[in-house]
Amino acid sequence: MLKALALTMVATGMLTSQISIAADKTQLNISSPWEIASYEPSVSGFAFYRLGVMETLVDATVEGVLEPGLATAWEMSDDGLSWRFSLRNGVSFHDGSPLTAQIAAAALQRAFANPGMLKKAPISAIEADQDDVVISLDRPFAALPALLTHNTTVIAAPAAINEDGAHIAAIGTGPFAVDTFTPPQSLDVKRFEDYWGDKAQLEKVSYLAAGRAETRALLAESGDADLVFSLDPSGYARLTGIDSVETRAVPIPRVVALKLNAGHSFLEDPRARNALSLAIDRIGIATAITRFPEATASQLFPPALDQWHSKELQPLKQDIEAAKALLAELGWVAGDDGILSRNDERFSLLLRTFPDRPELPLIAAALQAQWREIGVELNISVSSYSEIPAGHKDGSLHVALYARNYGLTPDPIGTVLQDFGPGGGDWGAMNWENTEVAQALQAIAATDDQAKRDADIATVVKTLQAELPLIPIVWYQHTVSVAKGLQGYVVDPLERKYRLNNISWSAE
Amino acid sequence: MIRSSGLWSALAGRASQAVLVAVVVGVVSFSMMQALPGDSAYRIAAGRYGYDMMDAASADVVRTELGLDKPTSVQLANWLGSLARLDLGKSAVTGNAVADELKVQLGHSLLLAGAGILVSLIIAVPIGIAAGLRPGGALDRITLGASIVLRAVPAFALGVLLMLALAVHIKLLPVAGFQSPKHLILPALTLGLGLAAVSSRVVRDAVSEAMAADWQLFSRTKGLSSGQTLRRHVLRNATLPVIAYIGVQLAYVIEGVVIVESVFAWPGIGHALVHAIFGRDVAMVQGTALALGLTYVVLNLIIDLCCHGIDPRRRSIT
C-alpha cells in the first residue's frame, strides 16, 4: 500500500514537472509577501497595477521621470488651479469596451472619494471635457501628475463596477488581463492581445502571495518562482550562493524612523530630540539587524530620492557623551538606577511599533538598550500599526517606530507635505510646526520648476535635520531574486510596477 | 426498527447541537472581538489600505461606512438577524460577501485537512498494527521514538524541512502554492506526519489490547487462523478507539492547518481567520468560527455514524 502510494507520487511528480518544463518560457511565476484582498483599487490597486492589469493616466520611468500613460499630454492652467489631461485614442479595456474621458473621470472621482493618493492634493472637481479629463484645484499643486502615477488612481472599465460603486472584477487597459483570481493568495494573468502599447512576450504570469520569508526563499531556490520579492537577510544570504538565481538589492525611498511627540514635556526641546538621536548606534542596527551597513540613515531622505537627499548635510551619528551633555543642559540628573530624572519625573517613554515588518521590534529592542546608556528608560509596545495614527490623534503617543515610504509617487511632495506641513501628519511630525518649512513645502508643491524648488527643498531638509521631528535610523533595501535566463527585468526602486511587457526568457 | 430510531435520534441531537453552536459561536466571537483593546475602525482601515495609505482620515471613513459608532447590541442583533436569514454579511476589510469567501477558503481547508488525515492513516495504520502485534519489539520501540520526535517538531519547522528535502533538493514537488494537485502533497504530508505521530500509537495500543483480550484467545481456540482472527475480530475491535480518536484529532488538524496554510501559501480558512482577527473583521471572524464550529458538528456526526456501523453492540443498546 505504502509502496504503491509512493510510486504513484513519484510518477505524478515526474510527469507534471516534465509538462511544466515543456510549457514554460512564456510563463513567469512571481512571489511576494503582499496578499490581494479584493478587486477594490484603494485596497488592491498595487497588485493589479504591478502586474500590468490596470493603468494610470500618467506613468513614470524607473528613474522617476514622468511619461505618458493613458494620458498623452497634460498641462496646468496659468493660475495653476486647473489641470487638463488629454486622453490617448484607441485604447480599449480587456472586455473590448473603449476608454473614454467620462469613464476616466468617473474612475478618478471614485478614487478621490476613497482613501488614497488623490487625498493628498487640494482637488475641488474632476470632470470630463470632450477627450480630456480636467481636474480643478483649490490652490496650485504642481505634483498632481505625479500623484496620478499611483496605483490607487487606476482606470477600471465600467463593467467592473456594480450599481453600489463596488469593484466586482478587475477589467483594465494594461498588457495583461485577469485570468483567475483566488483572493487573497493568487492572481493569474494572461497576455492582452489588443494592448495599445508594447505587447508582452510572456503569455501567462502567476502571482502567489507567500507571507513567510522562508517560503519565498525556498520558492526562489527551487525555481518554482522566477521573481521573488522582499527576502529576509538570511534568505538573501542563502540565495546569493545559488547558481540558478541572481539576487539584487536596490536602495528604495523607504526609511525606518522614530516619530516623536514634540508636545511631550520631555521631547519639546530640539536638544532633547537631538540627544536621543545621538544615542542611537545606527551602524550597529544596519549591520546586525537589517544587514545592509551602507543603508545607515545619515538623514531622513535616502539617496534614491536624489532631489531631496542632500550631500551638504552633516550626517547623523552616535556620540553618547554629547547626548548626555545635552540632557544635562536641560536639567536632567541621573538617579540611583541610572535613569535620568527632573523635578521628580523619570525620563521614561513608551514606544509603539508593530510586527508586520519583522525588523521593527528588533530595532525597538536595540533602541531600548542604547537609550538606557544615556539614562532614558524606553518601554516597548508591539501592536497593530493603526495604534500609531490613533495615538497621534488622541495625543497619547510618546514615540513610534515605523517605516515610511517617501516613494509612493515619483515626486514625494504629496507625502512630505502631509507629514511636515501645517498640523503635522499621522505618519509624520507630531505637535511640531515650523513656519519656514510649511511655507517652503507650499512653494515646492506649487511649482514644477526644479531650480525654484531646490532652494526650498534645502530649507526643508536642513530644518528637519536640525529639529528632528522624526529621527531617521536606517533606509531600506528592496531585495529581489531573479531567475537566470530572465531578460529585461529592471528592479523599480519605487516598487511601482514589474514592467512585465519588457520581460522575456532568453533562448537556451 | 431499533436501529433506525437510534440513528434518527443521533441526527436530531446533532442538528439541535448545530443550531446551538451557531448562536453560541456567533455571540462569543462577537463579544471577544468587542473585548479586544484598540479602536476597530483603525484596525479595519489598516487591514484594508495597508500602512502606506492608512491614516486617521481613512479610519473615519471606515467608521461611518460600517456604522461602527452604533451601539454594540444593535450590531450583534443585526448579525443574528442576518444569520436567521442565512446571510453572513460582508467582510469589513474586503467588502466581499463572507459566504463567498468562506466557500473558497473552507473548501481549500477541508481538502487539506482531509488529505492530511488520509496521509496520517496511510502511515499510522500499518505501522500501528505492526507495532501492536509485537508490543515491546524493535519496531514498537523505533516507531515510539519517531512518534515522539515528530510530535515535538512544530508543524512550521516540519513544513520547511520537507520543502527543503522534497522540493528544493530532489525537486519532486513544488515548494508552495495551491494551483495543482501536486501542490497538495507537501502540506498534506506536513499535517499527516504530525497526526500520524499520535494516531500510530493509538492504533498500536488498540491492537495490542485486542490481541491480549480473552475473545482473541477464544477465536484462536475455536479454530480460526491468526490471520483470520486479525481480520475478523482484532481489527474490527481496534478500529473503534482509532475512529473515535480521529474525531479528537480534528482539533489538532484545525490548529495545524493555520500554520501549515501560511507556510505553504494555501488560501484556507485558518489563514483567513488569523487575518480577520488582526483586521477586526468581525463578520469574517464570526463567519469563519461558525463554519469551523459546524464542520466539527458534521464531522462528529460522521464519526458517530461510522462507529454505529462498525459496532453492532451500540445498535442493540440504543
SS3 A373: helix
Taking CA–CA distances from B166, the nearest residue in chain A reads A222
Size of interface A-B (CB pairs under 8 A): 163
Mean pLDDT of A321-331: 96
d(C-alpha A399, C-alpha A264), whole Å: 10
Is the predicted pLDDT of residue B165 greater than 70, yes or no?
yes
Contact yes or no for A255/A496 (Cβ under 8 A): no
Say if residue B15's pLDDT is above 90.
no
Radius of gyration of chain A (CA): 25
Nearest to B94 among A43, A209, A210 (CB): A43
Q: Which residues 159-188 of chain A have a CB within 8 Å of chain B?
A: 166, 182-186, 188
Residue A36: closest CA among chain B residues belongs to which residue? B94
**What pLDDT is attached to residue B212?**
86
Nearest chain A residue to B49 by CA: give it: A43
| Cβ neighbours of A91 (radius 10 Å) | 18
Burial degree of B236 (CB within 10 A; 0-12, 13-18, 19+): middle
* Residues of chain A contacting B43 with CB distance shorter than 8 Å: 384, 386
Burial of B66 (0-12, 13-18, 19+ CB in 10 A): middle
CA distance A209 to chain B (A): 7
Range 203-242 of A in CB contact (< 8 A) with B:
206, 208-212, 214-215, 218-219, 221-224
The reply to whether A157 falls in a domain is: no
Kindly report whether the peptide bond that precedes residue A184 is cis, defined as omega within 30 degrees of 0: yes
- Are the beta carbons of A37 and B52 separated by less than 8 Å? no
For residue B318, pLDDT beyond 60: no
Q: Which of A2, A17, A43 sits opposite B122 (nearest CB)?
A: A2
Query: If phi over 0 gives left and psi between -120 and 50 gives alpha, with beta otherwise, what is residue A355?
Result: alpha
Please compute the mean of the pLDDT values over residues A464-483 and round it to a whole number. 95
Q: Which residues of A161-192 are buried (b: 16+ CB within 10 A; e: fewer)?
A: beeeeebebbbbbbbbbbeebbbbbbbbbbbb
Residue A207 lies in a domain: no
The closest CB to that of A210, out of B47, B176, B278, belongs to: B176
Span A176-209, pLDDT tens digits: 999 999 988 999 999 999 999 999 999 999 999 9
Question: How many residues make up chain B in this entry?
Answer: 318
Contact B46 A384 (CB under 8 A): yes
Question: A491 in a domain, yes or no?
Answer: no
The answer on pLDDT for A39 being more than 60 is yes
A345 neighbors A375 (Cβ within 8 angstroms): no
Q: Is A323 helix (H, G, I), strand (E, B) or coil?
A: helix
Average pLDDT of span A104-131 = 93
Cα gap B302→B262, rounded to integer Å: 28
Beta-carbon-side half-sphere exposure of residue A15 (alpha carbons within 13 Å): 9
Name which of B57, B160, B168 is nearest A119 (Cβ-Cβ): B57
Residue B229 DSSP SS3: helix
Query: Grid cell 532568453 — which residue?
Result: A506
> Cβ separation of B59 and A405 shorter than 8 Å?
no
Instruction: Report the pLDDT value the prediction gives residue B90, as an integer from 0 to 100.
Output: 87
Average pLDDT over residues A351-376: 93
Q: φ, ψ for residue A27 (rounded to 5)?
A: -120, 140
Mean pLDDT of A414-423: 90
DSSP secondary structure, B128-194, as one string: HHHHHHSTTSHHHHHHHHHHHHHHHS-HHHHHHHHIIIIIIIS--S-SS--SSTHHHHHHHHHHHHH
Q: Which of residues 284-323 of A touch B (CB under 8 A)?
A: none
Please indicate whether residue B291 or residue A84 has the higher confidence score (pLDDT).
A84
Distance of alpha carbon A348 from alpha carbon A329, whole angstroms: 18
Residue identified by cell 466571537 is: B29
Question: What average pLDDT score do residues A418-439 get?
Answer: 93
Structural domains in chain B, sorted by start: 2-84 (no CATH), 98-278 (1.10.3720.10)
To test the contact with chain B by mutation, choose from A30, A168, A222 the residue with the greatest count of B C-beta atoms within 10 A, namely: A222
| Contact in structure between B123 and B192 (CB atoms under 8 Å) | yes
Q: Which pLDDT score is estimated for A16?
A: 45
Indicate the helix (H) or strand (E) that contains A370.
helix A359-373
Does the pLDDT of residue A322 top 90, yes or no? yes
The answer to whether A53 and A178 have CB atoms below 8 angstroms apart is yes
Q: Which range of residues forms the domain containing residue A275?
A: 251-477
Residues of A in contact with B178 (CB under 8 A): 182, 185-186
Q: Return the residue of B nearest to A419 by Cα.
A: B55
pLDDT of A67 strictly over 90: yes
**Residue A6: pLDDT over 50:** no
Question: What is the separation of C-alpha A186 from the centre of its chain, rounded to a whole number of angstroms?
Answer: 21
C-alpha grid cell for residue A12? 505524478
Contact between A384 and B42 using a beta-carbon 8 Å cutoff: yes
Burial of B209 (C-beta count, 10 Å sphere; 0-12/13-18/19+): middle
> Poorest-confidence range of A150-154, A436-440, A503-507?
A503-507
Residue A412 covered by a domain: yes
Tell me the average pLDDT across A23-40.
87
Contacts with A188 (C-beta within 8 Å, 6 or more apart), sequence order:
A178, A179, A180, A181, A204, A205, A206, A207, B179
Q: How far is B3 from chain A (nearest CA, A)?
A: 35
Instruction: Examine the pLDDT at A57 and tell me if it is beyond 60.
Output: yes
Q: What share of chain A in percent tops pLDDT 90?
A: 77
CA A237 to CA A245: how far, in whole Å? 12
**Is the confidence at residue B156, as pLDDT, over 70?**
yes
pLDDT at A189: 97
A64 closest CA partner among A403, A494, A499, A481: A494
Question: Can you list the positions of beta strands (E) in A354-435?
Answer: 377-382, 399-405
Reported confidence tier of residue A3, pLDDT bands at 50, 70, 90: very low
Query: Tell me: the pLDDT tens digits for B125-139?
Result: 999 999 999 999 999
Which residue has cell 478507539? B241
Helix, coil or strand: residue B208: helix
**Structural domain count of chain A:** 1
* Spatial CB neighbours of B7, under 8 Å, sequence gap ≥ 6: B305, B308
* Helical spans, DSSP H, in chain B: 2-35, 40-53, 56-66, 72-84, 98-133, 138-152, 155-162, 182-212, 214-221, 226-229, 235-263, 269-278, 282-310, 312-317
Cβ–Cβ gap A215/B264 under 8 Å: yes
pLDDT at B304 over 50: yes
Alpha-carbon span A207 to A54, nearest angstrom: 15
Cβ atoms of A133 and A118 within 8 Å: the answer is no
Q: What's the length of chain A?
A: 508
Enumerate the residues of chain A whose CB falls inside 8 A of the CB of residue B49: 42-43, 115-116
Residue B39: the pLDDT is 85
Poorest-confidence range of A171-185, A293-307, B120-134, B231-245?
A: B231-245
Domain for residue A235, yes or no?
no
Mean pLDDT within B266-287: 88
Q: Are the C-beta atoms of residues A201 and A499 closer than 8 Å to each other?
A: no
Measure A340 CA to nearest chain B CA, in Å. Answer: 31
Give A404→chain B minimum CA distance, Å.
7
CA distance A252 to A230: 12
The answer to whether A41 touches A154, Cβ cutoff 8 Å, is: yes
> Which one of B36, B60, B66, B94 makes the best mutation probe of the A interface by having the most chain A beta carbons within 10 Å?
B94
Taking only residues 74 to 103 of chain A, the set having a beta carbon closer than 8 angstroms to any beta carbon of chain B reads none
- Does A349 contact chain B (CB < 8 Å)? no
**A108: Cβ–Cβ under 8 A, 6 or more apart, which residues?**
A57, A118, A126, A133, A135, A148, A153, A155
Banded model confidence at residue A261, pLDDT cuts 50, 70, 90: very high
Contact list in A for residue B92 (CB cut-off 8 A) is none
Q: Is there a contact between B275 and A184 if contact means CB atoms under 8 Å apart?
A: yes
pLDDT single digits (tens) B240-259: 888 888 888 876 686 678 88
Shortest CB distance from B172 goes to which of A13, A209, A387? A13
Mean pLDDT of B169-182: 92
A77 in any annotated domain = no
Lowest mean pLDDT among A159-173, A317-331, A479-493, B205-219: B205-219
Residue A406, in any domain of the structure: yes
Looking at the predicted structure, is the pLDDT value of residue B267 above 60?
A: yes
Asked if B168's CB is within 8 angstroms of A115's CB, the reply is no
Cβ–Cβ under 8 Å, residues B294 and B18: yes
A224–B61 CB contact, under 8 Å: no
**DSSP label at residue A387:** H
What does the pLDDT read at residue A207? 97
Which member of A14, A35, A38 has the closest CB to residue B95?
A38
What's residue B258's pLDDT?
83
pLDDT at B3: 52
> What percent of chain A is predicted at pLDDT more than 70?
95
In a domain, A451, yes or no: yes
Q: For residue B4, what pLDDT is reported?
A: 57
Which residues on neighbouring strands pair with residue A176, listed in sequence order?
Answer: A191
Number of other residues whose CB lies within 10 A of the CB of residue A463 = 16
User: What letter represents residue B277's amino acid?
Assistant: I
Say what the pLDDT of residue B21 is: 87
Q: How far is A170 from chain B (nearest CA, A)?
A: 14
State how far Cα A470 lies from the chain centre: 18
Q: Check which CATH number belongs to the domain holding A290 and give it.
A: 3.10.105.10
In whole angstroms, what is the distance from residue B318 CA to residue B310 CA?
14
Q: Do B38 and A13 touch (CB under 8 A)?
A: no
- What pLDDT, on a 0 to 100 scale, did the predictor assign at position A355? 83
- Out of B173, B177, B180, name the one closest to residue A208 (CB): B177
Judged on CB neighbours under 10 Å (0-12, 13-18, 19+), A114 is buried
Q: Which of B57-66's residues contact partners 24+ apart within 8 Å by CB, and which partners?
A: B57/A115, B57/A119, B58/A115, B59/A386, B59/A389, B59/A390, B61/A114, B61/A115, B62/B92, B66/B41, B66/B92
Name the DSSP class of B68.
T
Which pLDDT belongs to residue B17?
Answer: 85
Tell me if A84 sits within 8 A of A75, measured CB to CB.
yes
Mean predicted confidence (pLDDT) in B167-189 = 93
Q: What is the 3-state secondary structure (H, E, C) of A440-493?
A: HHHHHHHCCCHHHHHHHHHHHHHHHHHHCCEEEEEEEEEEEEEECCEECCCCCC
Tell me, what's the ipTM? 0.85
Q: Using a CB-CB distance cutoff of 8 angstroms, which residues of chain B are in contact with residue A166? A: 95
Which SS3 state, helix, strand or coil, does residue A67 take? strand
